[in-house]
């Protein structure tokens, strides 16, 4: 090995180089004048930047970082985002992954959130200068998207929509619901418990697999608040089954509330069994409740659509104030409803051949870099409590299994799934514009291996 020309290991030897190097570690105030660290102070606050600086100086004292690289080391130690939430690439093949925040917002919705972040006219009419209905343009956009709804309201999530319906329309009364629809929506939350917590009583009718119109009719009386139809969105019962649909229940003379879950505004050709707001209202539902961050592809919120008197009873109930959404949600919802196709819609409508081509291109490029990468066929799912049992033709990049952990822990975390001893990165849930970042993440792991 060639001698280091004039480096740390000079005639004095490494034993002396360390204290000397220590003296050359830049002071905190000097480091904080580095433009990158100055900029970071504006974004993350002084404490987090100083903490990165102190850790970098410590690394230099330990000899792990040369004195002239302390600023670089501090920059590398900075947090990537101002919150603990890290942006990830969802390559699970589950379009609406609950653990990854369900629907990714469209570019239009992201921009709308930014634009609304400061003071906005969310509750003020700028022409007259007096108070105006909160979120009126977002509500108008929702009405326009589902014209069969006489009125609409928005709350924090789908569960809040149900709680508000039960409280405003059935507290102290009965909610008639089929035993086959007493579902758990995930993480231990059960709809029956949620409804009972409002002071409504549940009148369960039918059996797990079969419930008829007569079952409902026999339960209806002066104590009935409404009939609840819940879309069993995260499981399927097959075989000897019977369920009364909204069209059959509407003539019974009490309001029918349809919790469709996924929030499709209108039928989707690829999801023939998924209920949608328009069809449910046209079939006779008095109210439809749904989530905004499932198939609608918007921010987390709960949508309420339907009869004017019932929506008003809900939106004017004192509880509505506790469930109201913030301006950022209203902004994102409106932009989702009026803007271009959402990432969720694009993923639903993706052309399988194009997904295969993307997988082939990625695999070819990565193989050239020495990665054991293959393009394979795959099946994506909707997830997030939507379209159970439906799979969408997709394509994936198949990598050796150890990539799964390394990719998840990378600077741009990629979450894939394991299948048959391989790590699959399913492109069905990855927007095409992220392919380059995906390839870079894989290359980074490969480089780390060497
Ligand atoms: C997802 C879902 C809910 C809960 O909605 P959140 O927005 O998660 O609160 C309720 N009912 C059904 C049928 C669902 O699919």
Residue 9 within a domain = no
Residue 311 within a domain = yes
Whether residue 275 has pLDDT greater than 70: yes
Task: Examine the fold and report which residue of 341, 372, 391 is the final residue of a domain before the chain moves on.
Answer: 341
User: Do 382 and 264 fall within a single domain?
Assistant: no
User: Do 331 and 369 fall within a single domain?
Assistant: no
Determine the distance separating the centroid of ligand 1 and the alpha carbon of 304, expressed in angstroms: 12
Q: Summarize the confidence of residues 4-31 as an average pLDDT.
A: 64
What average pLDDT does the structure give for the chain? 92
Whether residue 209 has pLDDT greater than 70: yes
Protein residue whose Cα sits closest to atom 13 of ligand 1 = 261
Q: Which two tokens stand for residue 9?
A: 């290991």
Protein residue whose Cα sits closest to atom 8 of ligand 1 = 158
Determine the distance separating the centroid of ligand 1 and the alpha carbon of 159, expressed in angstroms: 6
Determine the distance separating the centroid of ligand 1 and the alpha carbon of 158, expressed in angstroms: 5
Protein residue whose Cα sits closest to atom 14 of ligand 1 = 261
Protein residue whose Cα sits closest to atom 2 of ligand 1 = 261
Determine the distance separating the centroid of ligand 1 and the alpha carbon of 314, expressed in angstroms: 18
User: Do 311 and 171 fall within a single domain?
Assistant: yes
- pLDDT of 235 reads 66
Closest ligand 1 atom to 157 CA: 7
Q: Residues enclosing ligand 1, CB less than 6 A?
A: 157-159, 185, 230-231, 233, 259, 261, 291, 302, 385
Whether residue 6 has pLDDT greater than 60: no
Residue 82 within a domain = no
Could you report the per-residue pLDDT of 218-255, keeping only the tens digit for each? 999 999 999 999 987 666 777 777 788 999 999 999 99
Protein residue whose Cα sits closest to atom 1 of ligand 1 = 261
Whether residue 15 has pLDDT greater than 60: no
Q: Which two tokens stand for residue 162?
A: 């149900």
User: Do 404 and 297 fall within a single domain?
Assistant: no
Determine the distance separating the centroid of ligand 1 and the alpha carbon of 264, expressed in angstroms: 13
Task: Examine the fold and report which residue of 341, 362, 383 is the final residue of a domain before the chain moves on.
Answer: 341
User: Do 123 and 51 fall within a single domain?
Assistant: no
Whether residue 101 has pLDDT greater than 90: yes
Closest ligand 1 atom to 260 CA: 13
Q: Summarize the confidence of residues 386-414 as an average pLDDT.
A: 93
* CATH number, residue 417: 3.90.1150.180
Determine the distance separating the centroid of ligand 1 and the alpha carbon of 423, expressed in angstroms: 30
Indicate yes or no: pTM above 0.85.
yes
Determine the distance separating the centroid of ligand 1 and the alpha carbon of 260, expressed in angstroms: 8
Probe target for ligand 1 pocket from 160, 236, 259, with the most ligand atoms within 8 Å of CB: 259
Determine the distance separating the centroid of ligand 1 and the alpha carbon of 131, expressed in angstroms: 33
Determine the distance separating the centroid of ligand 1 and the alpha carbon of 85, expressed in angstroms: 23
Q: What letters, b where the CB count within 10 A reaches 16 and e where it falls short, cover 384-395?
A: bbbbbebebbbb
Determine the distance separating the centroid of ligand 1 and the alpha carbon of 184, expressed in angstroms: 9
Closest ligand 1 atom to 293 CA: 7
Residue 21 within a domain = no
Total domains in the chain come to 3
Protein residue whose Cα sits closest to atom 12 of ligand 1 = 261
User: Do 431 and 317 fall within a single domain?
Assistant: no
Instruction: Tell me the residue range of the domain where 36 lies.
Output: 31-77
Residue 20 within a domain = no
Could you report the per-residue pLDDT of 360-375, keeping only the tens digit for each? 999 999 999 999 999 9
Whether residue 385 has pLDDT greater than 60: yes
Closest ligand 1 atom to 292 CA: 7
Confidence of residue 445 (pLDDT cuts 50, 70, 90): very high
Residue 202 within a domain = yes
User: Do 235 and 369 fall within a single domain?
Assistant: no
> Which is it for strands 189-190 and 201-205: parallel, antiparallel or unpaired?
unpaired
Whether residue 1 has pLDDT greater than 50: no
- Among 5-19, 35-49, 110-124, 336-350, the least confident range: 5-19
Q: Summarize the confidence of residues 94-103 as an average pLDDT.
A: 96
Task: Examine the fold and report which residue of 341, 366, 386 is the final residue of a domain before the chain moves on.
Answer: 341
- pLDDT of 450 reads 56
User: Do 94 and 121 fall within a single domain?
Assistant: no
User: Do 378 and 337 fall within a single domain?
Assistant: no
User: Do 154 and 297 fall within a single domain?
Assistant: yes
- pLDDT of 17 reads 54
Whether residue 11 has pLDDT greater than 60: no
Whether residue 3 has pLDDT greater than 50: no
User: Do 221 and 277 fall within a single domain?
Assistant: yes
User: Do 331 and 397 fall within a single domain?
Assistant: no
Task: Judge contact between 334 and 145, C-beta under 8 A.
Answer: no
| 39 φ, ψ (degrees, to nearest 5) | -60, -40
| 287 φ, ψ (degrees, to nearest 5) | -145, 145
Closest ligand 1 atom to 262 CA: 15
Residue 26 within a domain = no
Residue 16 within a domain = no
- Among 19-23, 250-254, 393-397, the least confident range: 19-23
Q: Summarize the confidence of residues 62-78 as an average pLDDT.
A: 95
């Amino acid at each position: 090995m060639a001698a280091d020309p004039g480096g740390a290991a000079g005639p004095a030897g490494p034993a002396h180089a360390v204290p000397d190097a220590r003296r050359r570690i830049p002071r905190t105030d000097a480091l904080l004048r580095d433009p990158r660290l100055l900029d970071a102070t504006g974004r993350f606050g002084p404490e987090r930047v100083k903490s990165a600086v102190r850790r970098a100086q410590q690394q230099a004292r330990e000899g792990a970082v040369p004195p002239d690289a302390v600023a670089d080391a501090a920059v590398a130690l900075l947090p990537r985002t101002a919150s603990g939430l890290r942006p990830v690439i969802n390559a699970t093949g589950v379009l609406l992954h609950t653990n990854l925040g369900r629907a990714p917002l469209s570019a239009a919705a992201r921009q709308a959130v930014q634009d609304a972040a400061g003071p906005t006219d969310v509750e003020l009419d700028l022409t007259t200068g007096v108070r105006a209905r909160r979120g009126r343009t977002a509500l108008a956009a929702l009405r326009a998207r589902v014209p069969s709804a006489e009125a609409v309201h928005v709350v924090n999530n789908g569960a809040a929509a149900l709680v508000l319906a039960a409280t405003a329309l059935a507290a102290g009364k009965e909610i008639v619901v089929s035993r086959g629809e007493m579902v758990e929506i995930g993480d231990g939350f059960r709809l029956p418990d949620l409804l009972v917590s409002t002071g409504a009583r549940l009148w369960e009718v039918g059996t797990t697999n079969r419930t008829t119109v007569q079952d409902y009719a026999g339960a209806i009386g002066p104590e009935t608040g409404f009939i609840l139809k819940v879309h069993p969105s995260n499981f399927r019962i097959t075989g000897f089954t019977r369920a009364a649909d909204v069209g059959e229940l509407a003539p019974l003379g009490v309001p029918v509330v349809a919790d469709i879950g996924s929030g499709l505004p209108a039928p989707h050709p690829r999801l023939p069994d998924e209920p949608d707001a328009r069809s449910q209202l046209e079939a006779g539902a008095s109210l439809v409740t749904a989530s905004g961050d499932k198939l609608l592809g918007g921010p987390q919120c709960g949508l309420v659509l339907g009869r004017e008197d019932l929506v008003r009873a809900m939106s004017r109930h004192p509880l509505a104030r506790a469930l109201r959404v913030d301006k950022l949600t209203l902004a994102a919802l409106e932009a989702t409803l009026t803007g271009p196709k959402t990432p969720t819609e694009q993923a639903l409508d993706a052309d399988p051949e194009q997904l295969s081509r993307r997988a082939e291109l990625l695999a070819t490029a990565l193989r050239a870099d020495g990665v054991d990468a293959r393009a394979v066929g795959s099946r994506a799912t909707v997830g997030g409590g939507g379209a159970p049992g439906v799979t969408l033709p997709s394509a994936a990049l198949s990598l050796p299994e150890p990539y799964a952990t390394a990719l998840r822990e990378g600077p741009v975390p990629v979450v894939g799934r394991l299948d048959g001893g391989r790590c699959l990165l399913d492109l069905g849930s990855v927007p095409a514009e992220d392919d380059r970042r995906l390839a870079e993440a894989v290359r980074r792991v490969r480089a780390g291996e060497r």
